[in-house]
Amino acid sequence: MRPDRATLVYCNRVRELWKDIPMIIGGVEASLRRMAHYDFWSDSVRRSILVDSRSDILVFGMGELAVADVAAALADGRAAGDIREIPGTCWKTHNCDNAKDAVVLPSYENVKADKRLFAQAFKRFYLEQNHVRGSRLIQDQGPWHIVHNRPSRPLTEKEMDVIYGLPYTRMWHPDYEKSGGVPALEEVRFSITSHRGCFGECAFCAISSHQGRIIQRRSDESMIAEAKMYKKMSGFKGIYTM
């Protein structure tokens, strides 16, 4: 039911139907494709998904803080294209003077043509993923320049407890009922998230690029409360995963 590169497909359809509506993208797909990046499916370097999706703002990382700040700015009547200061977001501009403080990364065209330059650009991008000392970044993507703000700060234990204490349904969307549901959900339906982030920097893993390198944890009380809730749910067989 979901197309390949779902964010690109859905966002471009939204643009066709609703034209200038404010559009903010996020999640794993957007986070890992926020700057010029290697795409396995096409075996090529692609532009930032913010350009190709025709969105206004990209929220990277887990996003709770940035989403709330973006929503507050929109509620205050600000245009999506003018929201440029929020940590944990990327935005686009035609004028580099709008980000004079940014570190300039090699352009999309250059990293696409030179693997060594691509690696150098990624290293610089990676080293700036720090909410305290990280610099703003900018990269020429052809029709736009993409500006990458420093990451959001890590969540506190109390904030983590609030987020994981929300009343999630823990079920697939009703549209999937006619096709028998989502089998993969059964693997994680009774899973308890204890923490976020990883300092390991393993080359094969993208967790640090999405969740950050700083460990953020939940309280024991929060995790115990979730475990007790699972005991009351239909289908629970006494097995938890972490």
Tens digits of residue pLDDT in 122-134: 999 999 999 999 9
| Interval 157-169 mean pLDDT | 95
Tens digits of residue pLDDT in 169-199: 888 999 899 999 999 888 888 999 999 999 8
Contact 148, 137 (CB under 8 A): yes
Other Cβ atoms closer than 10 A to 46? 19
pLDDT at position 138, please? Answer: 97
pLDDT at position 3, please? Answer: 86
**Is residue 1 pLDDT above 70, yes or no?**
no
| Interval 215-230 mean pLDDT | 96
pLDDT at position 237, please? Answer: 87
Contact 26, 17 (CB under 8 A): no
Residue 190: DSSP 8-state: T
| Interval 140-146 mean pLDDT | 95
pLDDT at position 51, please? Answer: 96
pLDDT at position 160, please? Answer: 97
Q: Which residue, among 80, 17, 18, has the nearest Cα to 50 in the 3D structure?
A: 80
Q: Which residues contact 90 (CB under 8 A, 6 or more apart)?
A: 34, 35, 48, 50, 57, 58, 60, 146, 147, 148, 149
Among 153-157, 162-166, 202-206, which stretch is predicted with the lowest mean pLDDT?
202-206
Q: Give the pLDDT band (50/70/90) at residue 29.
A: very high
| Interval 27-47 mean pLDDT | 95
Q: Which residues contact 109 (CB under 8 A, 6 or more apart)?
A: 140, 142
Q: Give the pLDDT band (50/70/90) at residue 38.
A: very high
Q: Tell which wins on pLDDT, 86 or 19.
A: 86
The mean pLDDT value of the chain amounts to 94
